Chains A and B, each alone.
Chain A
Amino acid sequence: MVRVDGGGSGSSLVQVRGLDKKYQRGSEEIHVLQGLNLDVDAGDFVAFMGPSGSGKTTLLNLMGGLDLPTAGTIRVAGDEITHLSARKLTEWRARHVGFVFQMYNLIPVLTAFQNVELPLLLTKLSKAERRRHVEVALEVVGLKDRMDHFPRQLSGGQEQRVGIARAIVADPTFLLCDEPTGDLDRKSADEIMDLIDRLVREHGKTVLLVTHDPVAADRAHVVLHLDKGVLVEGQTEGDRAGARS
C-alpha cells in the first residue's frame, strides 16, 4: 500500500515524513522538495513521474542515502537514515539499497562478472560463495553466458541488465531505479521493464522507479507525480486499467 498523506502505518518498509530539500545556487535558494510524505510497503513497485527539475532524482537520492535532507525523516526497514553519519550511511547503503542508473554506470575495465561482484566484496562471503551469488544474479537477468564480457562488448540493454544484476546481487531491501530505460530504444526498454516487473512479481523485490517514460511507469503498481517538490496522489494499476477500458 502506497500513501502520500503521511497516514501510513508504522509497518511500512519506507516511511518518509515532512521531507524538505533546499539547494543554494548562488544567492538563490531552490526548494526542491517541500514537506513530502510517503509510505511504501515491501513488495511495492512505485513509479515517480514529473517534469525535469521536479525533484524525482533528489527524492531517490535521499531515500537511497546518497544525500541528506534539509528537514524531515526517512525510515527504511526500521532504520532512521537521516541522522546517520557518513560512514554509517555508506554501510547502510551497502546492506539495503540496490541502485540502477540511467547510464548503467558499469566500470569499463571490469568484466560483467566483476561489476556484479562489486557489492559482494563488502560482505564476508568467500570467493566461491560470491561466485555463486553472481552467477545467480546474472542468470536472473539472462546474461550468465556473458559474464566474462567487458561493458564495451555488450549492447546498451545488456549493460543495463548487468547493472540490474549488480543492484540485486546482495539482495538489498529495495531497488532504486533512476530512469533505467532513459538511454535505451523501445525494445530494449521493454525488456528491462519486463525484467524489473519479474523481480517484483517473482522475487518480491520492492522497486522505486523514476521515469519520464509513461510506458515504463505503466508497469508500476502505483504512479506518483511530483510537481514543484510536492507529491501528488497517483494512480494505481486498477485506476489505470479502468481508465484504459
Chain B
Amino acid sequence: MKYSALLISNLFRKKIRTVLTIGSFAVALFLFGLLAVVHGAFNQGVEVAGADRLVVINKVSIIQPLPISYKERLLRIPGVKAVTHANWFGGVYQDERNFFAQMAVDDETFRPMFPEFMIPNDQWQAYMSDREGAIVGADLAKRFKWKLGDRIPIKGTIFQGTWEFNIRAIYQGERVQDDTTQFWFHYKYLEERENPYWKGLIGWYTVKVANPDDSVRVARQIDETFSNSPWETKTDTEKAFAASFAKQAGNIGFLITSIGAVVFFTLLLVTGNTMAIAVRERVRDLAVLKAVGFSDLFVLVLVLAESLLIALIGGALGLGFAKLLTLNGDPTHGMLPFFYLSPQAVVTGFAVALGVGVVAGLLPAITAMKLNVVDALRRV
C-alpha cells in the first residue's frame, strides 16, 4: 500500500478531532452491538425454534394448564409424529434475582423431541434412575458453579415447599444460540409431591409434525379437536409461539431500529461535518496533490478512504467492546440467558459503519474531487 502514509498521516493532522470522531463511531457501534445482543436475546427462541414443532397451550392463557389425557388424543391426529409435555415450575434458588427457567418434563418423550440439546448417555441414565434427578444447561451450571452430583434446593412458588434435586446430567446446545440455561426434572416427581389439584395437569404440549409443510393444518385440527371442551387449546408453530412470547416485552425490534436509526443519523451528521471541515482545511494540500499529477478520482478515493478508515477503526472498537461485554455472559441474572453478539450482527454492524462512512465522506470527497487547482492555490 504505497499510499498508506498519505492516508494514515492525515488522520494525525488533528489528533483530538480524529479521536473524537472515531470515538463517536465506537460509541454508536457499541450501542448497536448491545441492541443487537438484546434483540437476539429476545428473539433467540424464534431463531432456534424447530420448523417441525408446534406448541399447544390453554386457549385462555399459558398459565392455565391442560389435561395430560390430551397426549393420547394428540397422537391420534393425522400428521402428528410425537408429543411431549412440560410444566413451568417457577421456583427460587437462594435468591429471587437468581432467575432461570425450571421445567418438569416427560422423561420418555422430552429427549427425542429436542435433539438439539445434547445429553451424554451415561448422564441420561443416571438422571433416569434418580427420581430427584435434574438436568441443567452448561451455562447454568457454569453460572452457579454446579457439578454432577450436587444437591440443589429450590423453593417452590407455584408448587409449595422446598424441593431438592440432584444434578445428574449437564446438557450442551448443538448450536451456539441454543439456550443452555434451563433446569429440567422429572414430571413424575412433580406429580408425586404436589397436591391433588395438579394431578393429571401439565403446562403445555410440544407436538412434532411428520411434515413441516403440514403444520398449519395440523395446528388447526388440534384446536378443532378440543374446541367446546373445558380445556380448549391454542396451537402455534414453535416459531410463532416464541415470537409472541418475545412480543410480550414490547416491540423490541421496532425499539432497536428506532434507537439505531437516530444514533446513526446523528453519527452521519457528526462525521459528515468532520470530513467537510477536514477537506476545507486541506484545500491547499489537495490542490498540490492534483498539481503534482494525482487525478481527481484519486483525491475522491483518498477522502472517502479516510472516512472509511475512521468508520472501520471506530466500528471495530465499538463492536469489539460489545463483544467483550458479552463474553462474561448474561449480566441480568437470567433475564437474558442468550447474551451473545452473533457474527451476523458483527457483519451488519461493520456494514452499517462503512455505509455511514461512505455517505458521510461522499459530499466532502466530491468537493475535493471538483477542486480547481488554480483557484485553490490562489485562495491560500
Contact = CB atoms under 8 A, between A and B. Distances in A.
Given A105-B284, A109-B12, A110-B6, A90 B377 contact: no
B285 A107 contact: yes
Interface residues on B, range: 20 to 34
B293 A122 contact: yes
Binding site secondary structure of chain B: helix
Interface string B277-305: 00000001101111111111000000000
A84 interface: no
Interface residues on A, range: 20 to 34
Given A107-B285, A109-B13, A127 B293 contact: no
Contact of B294 (A90, A108, A114): A90
A230 interface: no
Contacts of A87: 295-296
B227 to A, nearest CB: 77
B287 to A, nearest CB: 8
A13 B208 CA distance: 89
Binding site secondary structure of chain A: helix
B123 to A, nearest CB: 61
Interface string B1-31: 0110110011011000000000000000000
B293 A93 contact: yes
A88 B116 CA distance: 64
B374 to A, nearest CB: 5
A121 B2 contact: yes
Given A66-B374, A105-B377, A99 B10 contact: no
A91 B293 contact: yes
B373 interface: yes
B380 interface: yes
Given A66-B373, A66-B374, A105-B284, A114 B5 contact: yes
Most chain B beta carbons < 10 A, residue from A66, A103, A119: A66
Nearest to A107: B285
B10 A109 contact: yes
Nearest to B290: A90
A109 B9 contact: yes
A26 B163 CA distance: 93
Contacts of B295: 87, 90-91
Interface in A91-126: 91, 93-95, 99, 101, 103, 105, 107-110, 114, 118-119, 121-122
Interface of A: 61, 64, 66-67, 86-87, 90-91, 93-95, 99, 101, 103, 105, 107-110, 114, 118-119, 121-122, 127, 130, 166
5 contacts: A86-B296, A90-B294, A93-B293, A105-B287, A118-B6
Cβ-closest 8 pairs across A and B: A94-B293, A109-B9, A105-B288, A93-B293, A107-B285, A66-B373, A109-B13, A67-B374
